[in-house]
Copies of this chain bind each other. A is one copy, B any other.
Amino acid sequence: MLGLPKGSLEESTKSLFAKAGWKITTSSRSYKPSINDPELDGRFIRAQEVSRYVEHGFFDCGLTGYDWIQENGSDVVEVCDLVYSRASVLKSRWVLCVPEASDITKPEQLAGKRVATELVGTVKRYFEKKGVSVDVEFSWGATEVKVPDLVDAIVDITETGNSIRANKLRIIDTLLETNTKLIANKASWANPAKRKKIETIALLLRGALEAESKVGLKMNLPRTALDGVVKALPSLRNPTISQLSNVEWVALETIIDENVAREIIPQLKELGAEGIVEYPLNKVVY
């Protein structure tokens, strides 16, 4: 039984599993998806709750954020990281923010004030460790608009900081970095058959994620240019080189980062490559 995160991660999770080879089909209003693998059964529940039910054992494994594993204090196995978005290499962060115009620059200055957050437990532990007495309120949403009208500070999640700036807030501390993780129930992990299945899921999800930022590249090269190309372009790691019928030419094929492709293709052309072709990938497993 697999715990899947409902809500903002739902579509990208289904898309990631599809690339990994599992088609997850949901009907509207249902939390029981169908999966085209008789060995797998799944449920969509809120990301905040996945780790709780993995720990209780209803799920053998599940996907959720590190933040909620921490907030819930769940005793689970963290199998692997799955950083979904390729838009940025930054992890998401839970940050303590005050109004831009405020004088406050340190957490200590919030003593006796009110702080709103969705991550109440984590925030309370943070201030307790610092010995600062603060009134931490659970926020049901739209936390970023609550300062300064309703509370003095907030702890909210941000990826790029854009929404922080748009709401005229200033970050004074980072409490937690987080990303999606595949987690497993401890007993399920100790069961060899279940563990093997969980590891297969991990391998293929990572292979699908890897492929999102990678492309295949192939070209023909004069044999004489081969050394120059390989030396000049260290990012062409482990190229597969095969002899063409015409003995003066070789075919070179490799996998590279999509971002690198736009720099390397002009160079390859200058170095004598012909018929350069870039093609998309489904999965990359080293």
Chain A residues engaging chain B, CB cutoff 8 angstroms: 6, 20-23, 25, 31, 36-37, 43, 45-46, 48-49, 52-53, 56, 58, 87, 137, 139-142, 145-146, 149-150, 199-200, 203-204, 207, 211, 215-216, 220, 238, 240-245, 250-251, 255, 258-259, 261-263, 265-266, 269, 274-286
Quickly give the copy total for this chain: 6
**A interface: dominant SS:** mixed
Output the least CB separation between A244 and chain B (Å).
6
Q: Is B286 in contact with A274, judged by CB distance below 8 angstroms?
A: yes
Of A22, A49, A211, the most chain B CB neighbours within 10 A belong to: A49
Whether the pair B25, A266 counts as a contact (CB closer than 8 A) is no
CA gap between A159 and B141 in the complex, in Å: 24
Known contacts A20-B262, A23-B87, then 5 further A-B pairs from the complex at CB < 8 Å, ordered by chain A residue: A243-B243, A245-B250, A274-B286, A278-B284, A280-B280
In the complex, how many angstroms separate the beta carbon of A141 from the nearest chain B beta carbon?
Answer: 6
Out of B49, B58, B203, B284, name the residue touching A277 (CB < 8 Å): B284
Contact status of A262 and B204, CB under 8 A, knowing A244-B240, A278-B283: yes
